[in-house]
């Protein structure tokens, strides 16, 4: 049997048998992994803390046939404050679901791993609105996946943002960029977008994620980012995410 060590973040789990749990763990060097945490739901299990959603730990696994089994785990951060708050938990679960879509099995992704760690830290300990944290993650993820939107000029006719009538701008999710009023009739998936939202998107794409704390979002920018990023992600991933319906739900509760 072969032992190895890796860092990981728990993206999802399924309980089975009396006290076991199958985890989906994201490792920076191995990508997505299906991992068995044996007996982790027993009250005094050493693996209990390391088998919770969002947990960031150093794991030692043994590979037996096709299954990875945790033999040891050293929790570095449980991000407990995310699980402790309904709104943070909802956006946090959405962020994990997006990560799960973006990562492959047996394929490391260091950039996404460290971005996710920083985002979870903001979500757990920061003062920023959890919805804004999720939007920053969504846009950075879109960029990481190779779909950075074109925000400088109209993707149909090429006219620059400065020459456009700034009251009538659109974002096309199928083309991945902004469309001017003249070209709008030729695309049928143009969402209304204001210049402030375009500028915020450009700022997010250019900034280091460590500076997330300096961002301030107006309600209008937040709303536009919400439907535009969500529609664009559906286009990229090819389906709507289930976690979206929880977000709609808590928004309606407010």
Rule CB under 5 A: which of 27-86 touch Zn ion? none
Q: How far apart are alpha carbons 168 and 194 in whole angstroms?
A: 8
**Residue whose CB is less far from Zn ion, 159 or 223:** 159
CB-side exposure of 101: number of CA atoms within 13 Å?
Answer: 21
Binding status of residue 151 toward Zn ion by CB under 5 A:
no
**Residue whose CB is less far from Zn ion, 29 or 152:** 152
Binding status of residue 183 toward Zn ion by CB under 5 A:
yes
Other Cβ atoms less than 10 A from the Cβ of 121: the count is: 18
In this structure, what token pair is assigned to residue 112?
């996404």
Residue from 157, 163, 174, 199 binding Zn ion (CB under 5 A): 157
Instruction: Give CA separation, 8 vs 48, 56, 61, 166, in Å.
Output: 15, 6, 11, 45
User: Does residue 59 contact residue 6 with C-beta atoms inside 8 Å?
Assistant: yes
Report, in Å, the least distance between residue 87 CB and Zn ion: 39
Report, in Å, the least distance between residue 158 CB and Zn ion: 7
Q: Which stretch binds Zn ion (CB under 5 A): 41-49, 105-113, 182-190, 205-213?
A: 182-190
Axis crossing angle, helix 195-206 with helix 130-144, rounded to the nearest 10: 70
Q: Which stretch binds Zn ion (CB under 5 A): 155-163, 189-197, 201-209, 218-226?
A: 155-163
Interface contacts to Zn ion, rule CB under 5 A = 154, 156-157, 180, 183
């Amino acid at each position: 049997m072969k032992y190895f060590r890796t860092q990981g973040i728990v993206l999802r789990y399924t309980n089975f048998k009396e006290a076991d749990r199958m985890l989906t763990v994201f490792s920076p060097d191995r990508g997505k992994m299906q991992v068995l945490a044996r007996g982790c739901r027993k009250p005094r299990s050493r693996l209990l803390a390391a088998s919770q959603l969002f947990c960031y730990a150093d794991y030692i696994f043994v590979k037996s046939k096709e299954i990875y089994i945790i033999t040891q785990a050293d929790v570095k951060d449980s991000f407990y404050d995310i699980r402790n708050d309904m709104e943070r938990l909802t956006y946090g679960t959405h962020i994990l679901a997006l990560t799960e879509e973006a990562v492959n099995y047996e394929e490391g992704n260091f950039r996404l791993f460290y971005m996710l760690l920083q985002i979870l830290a903001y979500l757990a300990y920061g003062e920023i609105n959890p919805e804004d944290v999720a939007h920053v993650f969504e846009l950075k993820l879109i960029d990481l996946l190779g779909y950075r939107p074109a925000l400088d000029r109209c993707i149909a006719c090429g006219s620059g943002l400065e020459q456009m009538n700034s009251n009538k701008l659109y974002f096309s999710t199928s083309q991945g960029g902004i469309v001017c009023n003249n070209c709008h009739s030729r695309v049928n998936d143009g969402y209304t977008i204001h210049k402030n939202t375009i500028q915020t998107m450009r700022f997010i794409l250019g900034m280091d994620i460590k500076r997330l704390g300096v961002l301030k979002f107006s309600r209008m920018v937040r709303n536009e980012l919400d439907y535009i990023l969500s529609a664009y992600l559906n286009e990229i991933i090819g389906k709507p995410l289930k976690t979206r319906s929880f977000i709609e739900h808590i928004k309606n509760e407010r």
